[in-house]
Amino acid sequence: MELDQLWQQSQQLFRTLQARICAALEELERAQGHDATFSHDPWQYAAGEGGGITRVLEDGAFLEKGGVNFSAVQGEFPEDFAATMPGSGRRFRATGISLVLHPRNPHVPTVHANFRFLMKGDGIRWTAWFGGGADLTPYYPRVEDARHFHRVWKQVCDRHPTVADYARFKRWCDEYFFVRHRGEPRGVGGIFFDYLQDRLPEVYAFVSDAGHAFLDAYLPIAERRRREPYGPRHRRWQLLRRGRYVEFNLVYDRGTLFGLRTGGRIESILMSLPPLVMWRYDFRPEPGSPEARALELLQPRDWLADEEEDDSNNDKPSSV
């Protein structure tokens, strides 16, 4: 498959995924008794060619804020930034879909997914690769939810054994989505991959499969948790943990840094940030509390291990 053809097919894939995911989430809003819909905000890339469509839903019954971005842009990297990536030259083409969903209910996890195709070169000779992944950030983790999320991604990887390795991508995710200055994981992980350059048509098939599997990975969890009652204590914990999400995205996230270093559209880049967040000085949950248990469950583990675990975190704190 020629790179120009792969560039065009990838754009179409990511446009399709954006429309499909937004439609499913709007249906979930209707199931919650609300008619909230995603905005449709086309934009042009000011620092080069192309643009994208940013779609955001705010103040919904299910989503407090959710964003699903599509972009396809061309431009030139700063020289120092170009040196951090494979290939020679400074020109680039980049297309992808990026989404972050911040549910209102603290028992429903925040989720992130991103799939992208990049080309870097001098306009004649190109180095191309795919990257992406998905990770789950629960505030009150449930073993069954984490297992379901990981099971879906393992099944996707197993369907593409020549280019995808669940065990490797799972470790990569655990290492990448780690808030290093806090010494703690962002969530329960998922899969993460980058710079997949070999067998590009096969990698494209894997990325397409993974993109279409996102709803299978997340919606069953959302359906299980969206009606669970919560009170002020749950909400405070959610806002405190969202602070870790903000710290990661502003300090480490590759997509955020890519957008900022390449003159991207700020509103679209920062749509991943939650609408409300809280920081408290040196906050530590009470030992033995569900919040303390939540931090224990966030430690990297083999979520698909055969042995059964008691999901004791279903004992939720009372409202205070």
Residues with a catalytic annotation lie at: 112
Residue 165 token pair: 């390795």
15/33 Cα distance (integer angstroms):
28
Between the alpha carbon of residue 128 and those of residues 70, 92, 182, 276, the distances in Å are 19, 9, 34, 38
Beta carbons of 157 and 165 less than 8 angstroms apart: yes
Residue 304 CB-half CA count within 13 A: 13
* Nearest in space to 180 (alpha carbons), one of 230, 234, 129, 251: 251
CB burial of residue 177 (10 Å; 0-12, 13-18, 19+): buried
How many angstroms separate the first and last alpha carbons of the chain?
A: 59
Beta carbons of 32 and 25 less than 8 angstroms apart: no
* Nearest in space to 20 (alpha carbons), one of 97, 102, 87: 97
